[in-house]
Structure 1
Amino acid sequence: MEQRRRVLLLGWVSGMATAPLWAAEDRTGGDPLGSMQWPTLRKQYLGDAPMRFSDAVVVHTPAFADDAMNVPLQIDARALSGVGGGVQRILVVVDRNPVREVLDFEPLRALPMLSFRMRLEQASPVRALVQTRDGQWHVGSRQVHAAGGGCTVPGASRADGSWKTTLNKVQARMFHNVIDGSRRLRLRVMHPMDTGLVAGIPAFYIDRLELRDAAGQMWWRLGLHEPVSENPMLSLELPLDGPREFRLQGHDNNGNRIDAEVKA
């Protein structure tokens, strides 16, 4: 009888020890980085669309951001080029930025790959949400640590007033064979890219860029948001074969137009 009581007691204690593990609820929605913000972010941007975390979406960025106002970021989704009809859209978001959405890229005739710099307010997962043409979302993520404050400090051109003389001026250059089978287009558009989070300075940023050839065909489309760094520098990959003359067009959220020739 005494031995049976001991067995029952041990079983009860064992159950108490393991029950919390069985009952534990994953409130991160299966996020490999364990972010509590991910379920809300997924609902906001992906809704009920099918998604999976994927190593095919590569997010290159420093593990620690020395300059939170200029965090280099490269998104490479070329591994999905033959999946689900190819890449339709790349959406870059940051879990813990006050403005989560950073950039929205439609590659169209370009390769599904781009590089740029962004602001980071605090340590956070940085994500590339890549949608293939079959409607499936593929999510690549990287945790980035930072001292913080990148979204709430005015840029250099805003501080010294030089943005007034350089606004929306474009510098462009094409590099051949940087990646096998492609040409790299590097653009710099002068703009303060104000986040609206600095006292007395409203949000003022480029919100649309498009690249078209001489026939009017669009090669890629970009939607930019406040967290993109001041004077955005963008690197995009175009197929090796194709037109040698393009036109970059766009505008900022105040209606100021961007229009420049781009030649190989």
Structure 2
Amino acid sequence: MHPLPNRRDVLLCGAGLAGLSPTLAQDDQTGGDPLGSMQYPGLREQTIGKAPARFNEQVSVKGPAFADDAMNVPLLVDARGLSAVGGGVARIKVAVDRNPVRQVLDFEPLLALPMLAFRIRMEQASPVRAFVQTRDGQWHVGGIWVQAAGGGCTVPGVTRADGSWSKTLGQVQARFFNNVLEGSRRLRVRVMHPMDTGLVAGIPAFYLEDLQLQDSAGQVWFKLALHEPVSENPLITFELPPQTLSGLRLVGRDNNGNRINTEVGV
């Protein structure tokens, strides 16, 4: 278990730590991290640069206490609590402190709700973070500890191991669900792709880089940039406004230039 310090002691990270004396702030090697991770200051800089970030309970990250399958760790990130803060949510960045590839995804909700569910690979037990930027430029951070057996980033996926990935590459399954969450329509998308991390001998990094949902007028409803730790055959759940239009298309590409362009039926 990782006990949380008093919340008043961890409100601000970056230039200094709220509620701590200068001596204690200098001695704190975690940047005031409520999860107590020594890797947090470096992860924060890698993810958002030198910008300050506030730990905020309105950024919810949910996942299993222990991940039985380190190659498919389910996560839910929900930043709806910030919808009325700073002009609303502009983007969500997800990162893992102790993964060899730390960056997981970068989500711009645009017309979607600021929440999504997905699965990732984890190499070992680690905090998982969501960095949320509101439209006023401020960053807010939430996270959880996930215990994992490990090795999820350094072994080949099932379809890579059996060679079946090439037969299904780029295939898309998409389905809407109504009345699951009040005030939205749920879109669940699966894109068939091996999502190779590049950390398995003889298998270079090969992963989806970009997904967008567009309507018939070319308006973009969300943008999603993905990185290597997203699980094989990504299954991602989005929440869209209830007045979703017809003529939606999921478009994107992987790091080898293979294209995704599929109609999403309503």
Q: TM-score, normalised by structure 2?
A: 0.90
CA contact (8 A) 1:105 1:221 kept: yes
User: Partner letter of residue 186 of structure 1?
Assistant: R
Query: What is the CA-CA distance between 1:102 and the residue it aligns to?
Result: 0.3
Specify the alignment match of 1:154 in structure 2.
Answer: 156
Query: What is the CA-CA distance between 1:47 and the residue it aligns to?
Result: 2.3
- SS of alignment partner, residue 158 of structure 1: helix
- SS of alignment partner, residue 159 of structure 1: helix
Query: What is the CA-CA distance between 1:42 and the residue it aligns to?
Result: 1.4
Larger Rg: 1
Distance, in Å, in 1 between the alignment partners of 2:86 and 2:128 is 24
User: Partner letter of residue 202 of structure 1?
Assistant: P
Distance, in Å, in 1 between the alignment partners of 2:260 and 2:209 is 11
CA contact (8 A) 2:60 2:142 kept: yes
CA contact (8 A) 1:210 1:248 kept: yes
Q: 2:124 matched to 1:122?
A: yes
Aligned residue among 214, 222, 241 for 2:224: 222
Distance, in Å, in 1 between the alignment partners of 2:198 and 2:128 is 21
Distance, in Å, in 2 between the alignment partners of 1:189 and 1:60 is 23
Taking the TM superposition and a 5 Å limit, the aligned residue runs for 1:180-199 are: 180-199=182-201
User: Partner letter of residue 165 of structure 1?
Assistant: K
Specify the alignment match of 1:145 in structure 2.
Answer: 147
Query: What is the CA-CA distance between 1:255 and the residue it aligns to?
Result: 0.3
> Structure 1 residues 149-158 or 41-50, which shifts more?
41-50
Specify the alignment match of 1:242 in structure 2.
Answer: 244
Query: What is the CA-CA distance between 1:94 and the residue it aligns to?
Result: 0.1
Unaligned stretches of 5+ in structure 2? 1-22
Distance, in Å, in 2 between the alignment partners of 1:87 and 1:23 is 30
RMSD of aligned alpha carbons:
1.2
CA contact (8 A) 2:68 2:148 kept: yes
User: Partner letter of residue 151 of structure 2?
Assistant: G
CA contact (8 A) 1:50 1:135 kept: no
Specify the alignment match of 1:251 in structure 2.
Answer: 253
Taking the TM superposition and a 5 Å limit, the aligned residue runs for 1:87-126 are: 87-126=89-128
Distance, in Å, in 1 between the alignment partners of 2:245 and 2:236 is 20
User: Partner letter of residue 96 of structure 1?
Assistant: R
CA offset digits 1:140-182 (Å, max 9, x no partner): 0100001100000100000111111100000000011110010
Specify the alignment match of 1:41 in structure 2.
Answer: 43
Unaligned stretches of 5+ in structure 1? 1-20
CA offset digits 1:61-119 (Å, max 9, x no partner): 00100000000000000010110000000000000000000011000000000000000
User: Partner letter of residue 265 of structure 2?
Assistant: K
- SS of alignment partner, residue 45 of structure 1: helix
CA offset digits 1:4-49 (Å, max 9, x no partner): xxxxxxxxxxxxxxxxx96970010000011011111112222232
Distance, in Å, in 2 between the alignment partners of 1:53 and 1:78 is 15
- SS of alignment partner, residue 46 of structure 2: helix
CA contact (8 A) 1:31 1:38 kept: yes
User: Partner letter of residue 65 of structure 1?
Assistant: A
1:86/1:99 CA distance change after superposition, 3 Å? same
User: Partner letter of residue 69 of structure 2?
Assistant: D
Specify the alignment match of 2:15 in structure 1.
Answer: none
CA contact (8 A) 1:49 1:135 kept: no
CA contact (8 A) 2:47 2:95 kept: no
Give the number of aligned pairs: 244
More helix by share: 1
